Chains A and B, each alone.
Chain A
């Protein structure tokens, strides 16, 4: 990797002050139709992938989106990059509404919002050389950097820690981690303001993951690019993001600063998620015991999500109110500014062990009861 990154001059006169909202998402909804029936296929249901979420990503900030599979985090990323059309809601970029923008209107904005995909094997065209892959976006946007595109590509390869001599190689000649670096170089080619990274490291080996996380962090900090970092690994999200939103079944259930979410969570689901992460105790000292919560079953289907609070079917605190009334995403008393939680009966802001473990899984509870009796 190079020692210092070259920060290119902004293309337009707009200078962004850090802390200004860059991307704002309001009440964003994406439903996918479920077709069925014969001989005429009708829409028989809706997969409510994303169902009314609000997010704000500020200039130069790295914002983490975490949740389990099927919670709508990837769909959110694709909606923001306009790879999918939202069903309802509003996406605005630097105050400009881009929800229904035409192709022509979007063109200048598209170059500022780039994406890094999960699978470095599927996201690079195997028939193009690395040079072609990285210069492609510049060609499409008619960008002619000083010294030519090839020079810029070589610079980008160096920024992401690849050998510039590999300009003419094909993707299959690289390992998974190196391919992901090519993906990063391609995203950087247009000097974006926002990068949506959808599970950028989860397909990589542990020792390679750290290399790519460090590269992304370096890019984020030194080039001041805002990141929407989508991942299911809570420790990686914590390491990378200044602010974190937790999603469950198409809703944001809790959002706040990193420390606030990871040490003072209020939503029962956030508690359950954090307690489920297997941890290595390397110090050997008896660190403060973490709480133990074992939920029952899997996430319900997003085709017919539970009424009211969507987590209520797996929640140990659920009451009648949870089924009838959807909890709003608000700042609870005692929470830091910007820490919003959507829960009627929030938990205490701590992750330390409680008097009694919460074990909702019936098989687990039965086995553990049996073991205690012996």
Chain B
């Protein structure tokens, strides 16, 4: 289980035994137009061997959070505040040389587009062998053997031959398999998968998702799975964190968030997505408006300009007051727990068909 907490002021101590613990993380970029507050006060914990799904639209800060964990942001323009503890070790203040030892070793990443993430200049086998040579101090030959073994494991037919190929000789699905092989070559404790199947066809996506699940069983890595597709999250994750405009809107286990969602944004996401078993004659219920610019994010609850339940809160709380995310299962919304429950059951669920 992962547990997530959003503190009100006093920092909450990192969860006992949490393998990765992110505490009150703020990330902002200086741009020509002003300061973009991409992540604003995010906290979560992740335990070994479990999968956390982060779902959100473009610009919700889900990718930025994970690039920051690996220290892949440009320090020239980025301000990072808060704590990222990996196995008790603080990463936001770590030196580049220390991060280098982690990347590809303890923490690995799978990117969305394998063609831009793989180098066109080196063979696939060499790119997989490289982190193994670096981190495990293996000989070139042993690393190559390991690369071939990994390629076989991820289902590349004839791996000994194909390891000598260049990325352009692989198809899209095979490239993503090679990326997974590269990420798992050093047996990482944490795997960050940033939209790993978005660029793939649906039948190939199904293969890759199942492969990732089966490999996780074997390798026991914790996975942070980033996607905008609720269907993929439902399939992959143990816990879900829904992000909106740089903040966590709601979190809990898969069953809790998808079957009894509490946040109006999650309701909106579920209502705006056609499913294979929904009534095709019922119009979709989209979320009005567009995601906010993070140069000037809305005051109070960041979802309030698009929220249709604002008037039920009363006062101007949604505009003035930032809703807090409690510990464990909770949502950052000013509606009372009773309101959330009745609105979902009476107004949202019937529309889901």
Partners in one complex: yes
Question: Number of residues in B with C-beta < 8 Å to the partner?
Answer: 58
User: Which residues of the other chain, A, contact B235 by a CB distance below 8 angstroms?
Assistant: 278-279
B96 contacts chain A at the CB level, 8 A cutoff:
no
A371 contacts chain B at the CB level, 8 A cutoff:
yes
User: Which residues of the other chain, A, contact B305 by a CB distance below 8 angstroms?
Assistant: none
Cβ contact within 8 Å between B205 and A276: yes
A282 contacts chain B at the CB level, 8 A cutoff:
yes
Mask for A251-271, Cβ within 8 A of B = 1, else 0?
Answer: 000000010001000000000
Residue of B with least CB distance to A361: B207
Q: Give Cα distance in the complex from A205 to B283, angstroms.
A: 18
Residue of A with least CB distance to B236: A278
Residue of B with least CB distance to A290: B276
Cβ contact within 8 Å between A68 and B57: no
Cβ contact within 8 Å between A206 and B272: yes
The B-contacting residues of A in range 246-298, CB under 8 angstroms, are 258, 262, 272-284, 287, 294-298
Q: Give Cα distance in the complex from A370 to B211, angstroms.
A: 13
Cβ contact within 8 Å between A210 and B273: yes
Mask for A202-227, Cβ within 8 A of B = 1, else 0?
Answer: 00011111110110010000000000
Residue of A with least CB distance to B271: A210
Q: Give Cα distance in the complex from A297 to B173, angstroms.
A: 7
Interface of A is mostly: helix
Mask for B295-323, Cβ within 8 A of A = 1, else 0?
Answer: 00000000000000000000000000000
Stretch of A7-15, A72-80, A164-172, A233-241 that contacts chain B: A233-241
Q: Do A276 and B202 form a contact, CB below 8 Å, given A205-B57, A238-B280, A282-B259?
A: yes
Residue of A with least CB distance to B201: A68
The B-contacting residues of A in range 336-374, CB under 8 angstroms, are 361-364, 367-368, 370-371
Mask for B199-214, Cβ within 8 A of A = 1, else 0?
Answer: 0011111110111001
Cβ contact within 8 Å between A363 and B154: yes
Q: Do A175 and B276 form a contact, CB below 8 Å, given A207-B269, A371-B214?
A: no
A319 contacts chain B at the CB level, 8 A cutoff:
no
Residue of B with least CB distance to A275: B206
Can you give 18 contacting A-B residue pairs, CB < 8 Å?
Answer: A68-B201, A68-B203, A68-B204, A205-B57, A205-B291, A206-B228, A207-B286, A207-B287, A209-B272, A210-B284, A278-B209, A278-B235, A282-B349, A299-B201, A361-B207, A363-B152, A367-B214, A367-B218
- Which residues of B pack against A, CB within 8 Å? 57-58, 152-155, 157, 171-174, 177, 201-207, 209-211, 214-215, 217-218, 228-232, 234-235, 255, 258-259, 268-278, 280, 283-288, 290-291, 349, 352
- Nearest first, the 4 A-B pairs at minimum CB distance are A363-B155, A210-B272, A278-B231, A210-B286
- Which residues of A pack against B, CB within 8 Å? 68-69, 175, 177-178, 205-211, 213-214, 217, 232, 234-236, 238-239, 258, 262, 272-284, 287, 294-299, 361-364, 367-368, 370-371
